[in-house]
């Protein structure tokens, strides 16, 4: 789908809950991922993450502190590379309004995803570990 020289860039939100938990979503899949999604061509990344949070969870306001990490990985199923640009985001506690394609949203202990066979769940774990000192 994407030539090997290109990455599909996704903006993701790292939202910390109580007791070190991380907000995750299930969107068009049965596995957890960080909230967020593909960045549109020419779109400002911060505006992209705000758009994604609104689309996926109905979040109208969020405070973006900045990039906590960027990760790249290969998606075998799509024969393409993906890049996550992960932002530290703070939201007010509110009930989520799940958007189209989102089947669940909850705070999880990311260490429970460490041994997952799913690439997205492993990415949630690695991002949370790599960014722990920033949260």
Q: What is the pLDDT of residue 130?
A: 81
Could you tell me the fold of the domain covering 7-134?
Answer: Nucleoside Triphosphate Pyrophosphohydrolase (3.90.79)
* pTM of the predicted model as reported, rounded to 2 decimal places: 0.90
Measured between alpha carbons, how far is 31 from 53 in angstroms, rounded to an integer? 18
pLDDT band of residue 98 (cuts 50, 70, 90) is very high
Q: What is the pLDDT of residue 95?
A: 80
- H or E, element range at 82: strand 80-90
The ranges assigned to domains in the chain are 7-134
Higher-scoring residue by pLDDT: 116, 92: 116
pLDDT band of residue 28 (cuts 50, 70, 90) is confident
Output phi, psi for 7, to 5 deg. -115, 145
């Amino acid at each position: 789908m994407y030539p090997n020289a290109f990455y599909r860039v996704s903006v993701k939100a790292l939202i910390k809950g109580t007791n070190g938990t991380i907000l995750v979503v299930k969107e068009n899949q049965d596995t957890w991922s960080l909230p967020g999604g593909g960045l549109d061509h020419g779109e400002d990344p911060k505006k992209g993450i705000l758009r994604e949070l609104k689309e996926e969870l109905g979040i109208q306001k969020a405070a973006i502190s900045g990039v906590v990490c960027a990760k790249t990985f290969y998606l075998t199923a799509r024969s393409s590379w993906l890049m996550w640009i992960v932002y530290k985001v703070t939201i007010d506690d509110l009930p989520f309004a799940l958007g189209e394609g989102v089947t669940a949203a909850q705070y999880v202990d990311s260490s429970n995803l460490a041994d997952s066979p799913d690439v997205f769940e492993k990415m949630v774990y690695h991002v949370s570990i790599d960014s722990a000192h920033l949260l």
